Structure 1
Amino acid sequence: MLVPPFPHIAGSATDLVKSHLLSDAVIPYASIVAGILVCKVVYNFTQLFGALYFKSYAGLNRVQRIEWSNRGISTVHALFIAAMSLYFVFWSDLYADYQTNGFVTFRSSALSTFTLGVSVGYFIADLAMIMWLYPSLGGMEYVIHHSLSGIAVAYAMFSGEGQLYTFMVLISEVTTPEINMRWFLDTVGLKRSHAYLINGIVIFFAWLVARILLFVYMFYHVYLHYDQVMQMHAFGFLLVFVVPSVLAAMNLMWFGKILKGLKKTLAKKQ
């Protein structure tokens, strides 16, 4: 683990959340509500933004306009949770091995708990939208993905167990903005543009790193700290192995489709 470049900033943020804004008992529930409210605000903003700056937005049907806003929400969430997850995993000293304040599998802070709660709020809001318009916004694989992710993140938030591994998995959200950009470019009629091709290449490499290699690193980290993982509650222990394994299998399946689509796009450009 790397030492954070500005540890006083992270410490100040944690103190602000814990000492001045919310108590430990309130943080999980308040953060979930905050996550849902942010989703609503972003939903309304993306509708307004689309209507003002994209001529093609007026030609979208009702479901497409909802998906437009839904993807705006997921993009904002992805940018937030990926940035926070990268910080906690690679820059914060909260989960560093050199720390002596207990097992890494039981470490948490007010800031880490609040961050996970916002993500739980997003998964609740997004899953509700998927079920409301099922299967327009995604099929059963999205329901499974969001359900497993939401349960795992909520458990880590409420129990304080396995937060490090939760953040490792959530780093994979870094691929979401590129996936959404692909849909936006296609929707506004730019599927044959260079931007679409470049975005596809970015998706390939981002997916390879964040959803394939990073999962390998996570399982290796679990192997190195298996004695600490064994101390977790049975449900938490199960989540550490089952949820990432299922998500890894789904990531490999989607990666195959991404590779196939990229090859097809490159063939058309030749």
Structure 2
Amino acid sequence: MMQAPPRSIMTLDAYQYKAKLLVKDYLLADSYIPYTSLLGGIFISKMVYDLTELLSSYYYIGYSSLTKTQRIEWNNRGMSSVHAIFISAISIYLVFISNMFSDNRPDGLIISRSSNLSTFALGVSVGYFITDLTMMFWAYPILGGKEYVFHHFLSVVAVSYSMFSGEGQLYTCMVLISEATTPAVNLRWILDTAGMKRSWLYLVNGSILFLGWLVARILLFFYLFYHVYVHYDQVKQMDIYGLLLVFGVPSALGIMNMIWFAKILKGLKKTWNSSRRNI
């Protein structure tokens, strides 16, 4: 005669079953993905911030010698780098690798296409921008001045609209690919703070930042507007908020990118000239 399984095992199985139902029927349900991913983005951002602080204090001997404001910015840049890698990788996949936004697909207008993956990724990104914007106000102006606040505010509004409405996710992902330059920006600050401004790594990182910015924040934006021009017959069918998303936000960010690009170029020239004199 077979012996019945212990009550503890039955209870554990029951909890696991309920957990699976919770994930399937709530967390991963189409109608709840924007909310759960947004909250997840906030939670993950805070977790990465704390992990950056923990790991840096253990593995970087110079971390303890940083000022309080430097440690806040150090941790914040770790958080922003993780988000940048995540959202730029998924955006590159959605825009250039998958066939989600292909002209050859017969399933509706390009400007109205979305998926669980794209909505989830945008939700995580909104959660990050909300977290970072909150930290900017809390520590103002340590983590950035008015231009950074404006940049993040635009990002929250634009990405949130695209996530909830499902409109213009192609162009939102194109803009978010520009986040690929963020790790290089953060590494530049970290090397400067660590006293490595005259190192070869600082020079290499500056060159990578220049090329990455040129591709992801200048040329890609020209491609975005070209794509809008080619598909204008679809774009004009969007409502007024969608049109502002497609034309207003990329234009504002594009102008800011050009201004920052000029500063990057000036800084790179200064670094190259300084390295030549030291040879």
TM-score tier by shorter-chain length is over 0.9
Please report how far the alpha carbon of residue 73 of structure 1 lies from its aligned counterpart in structure 2 after TM superposition.
0.5
Q: How many residues align?
A: 254
Match in the other structure for 2:61:
55
Matched, 1:43 2:80: no
Which amino acid letter does the alignment assign opposite residue 213 of structure 2? W
Kindly indicate whether the alpha-carbon contact (under 8 Å) linking 1:201 and 1:262 is maintained by their aligned counterparts in 2: yes
Kindly indicate whether the alpha-carbon contact (under 8 Å) linking 1:18 and 1:24 is maintained by their aligned counterparts in 2: no
Please report how far the alpha carbon of residue 238 of structure 1 lies from its aligned counterpart in structure 2 after TM superposition.
1.2
Show structure 1 runs of 5+ residues with no match: 1-16
Matched, 1:172 2:178: yes
Kindly indicate whether the alpha-carbon contact (under 8 Å) linking 1:156 and 1:166 is maintained by their aligned counterparts in 2: yes
Which entry has the higher C-alpha Rg, 1 or 2? 2
Q: Structure 1: how far apart are the matches of 2:49 and 2:140?
A: 18
Which amino acid letter does the alignment assign opposite residue 218 of structure 2? I
CA RMSD in angstroms, aligned pairs only: 1.2
Match in the other structure for 2:6:
none
For 1:80, which of 80, 86, 99 is the aligned residue? 86
Which amino acid letter does the alignment assign opposite residue 88 of structure 2? A
1:25 counterpart SS class = helix
Please report how far the alpha carbon of residue 54 of structure 1 lies from its aligned counterpart in structure 2 after TM superposition.
1.1
Match in the other structure for 1:105:
111
Please report how far the alpha carbon of residue 135 of structure 1 lies from its aligned counterpart in structure 2 after TM superposition.
0.7
Match in the other structure for 1:3:
none
Q: Structure 2: how far apart are the matches of 1:40 and 1:96?
A: 36
Kindly indicate whether the alpha-carbon contact (under 8 Å) linking 1:81 and 1:115 is maintained by their aligned counterparts in 2: yes
Matched, 1:192 2:201: no
Q: Structure 2: how far apart are the matches of 1:200 and 1:18?
A: 45
Q: Structure 1: how far apart are the matches of 2:63 and 2:162?
A: 39
Matched, 1:239 2:258: no
For 1:146, which of 148, 152, 163 is the aligned residue? 152
Which amino acid letter does the alignment assign opposite residue 178 of structure 2? S
Kindly indicate whether the alpha-carbon contact (under 8 Å) linking 2:26 and 2:32 is maintained by their aligned counterparts in 1: no
Sequence identity percentage? 61
Match in the other structure for 2:222:
216
Which amino acid letter does the alignment assign opposite residue 214 of structure 2? L
Give every structure 1 segment of 4 or more consecutive aligned residues whose post-TM-superposition deviation is greater than 4 Å.
Answer: 17-21
Show structure 2 runs of 5+ residues with no match: 1-22
Match in the other structure for 1:12:
none
Kindly indicate whether the alpha-carbon contact (under 8 Å) linking 1:43 and 1:70 is maintained by their aligned counterparts in 2: yes
Kindly indicate whether the alpha-carbon contact (under 8 Å) linking 1:18 and 1:110 is maintained by their aligned counterparts in 2: no
2:62 counterpart SS class = helix
2:205 counterpart SS class = helix
TM-score w.r.t. length of structure 2: 0.89
For 2:40, which of 34, 41, 44 is the aligned residue? 34
Q: Please list, as runs of the form range in 1=range in 2, the aligned pairs for 1:248-267 lying within 5 A after superposition.
A: 248-267=254-273
Match in the other structure for 2:30:
24
Please report how far the alpha carbon of residue 21 of structure 1 lies from its aligned counterpart in structure 2 after TM superposition.
4.7
TM-score w.r.t. length of structure 1: 0.92
Which amino acid letter does the alignment assign opposite residue 180 of structure 1? N
Which amino acid letter does the alignment assign opposite residue 168 of structure 2? G
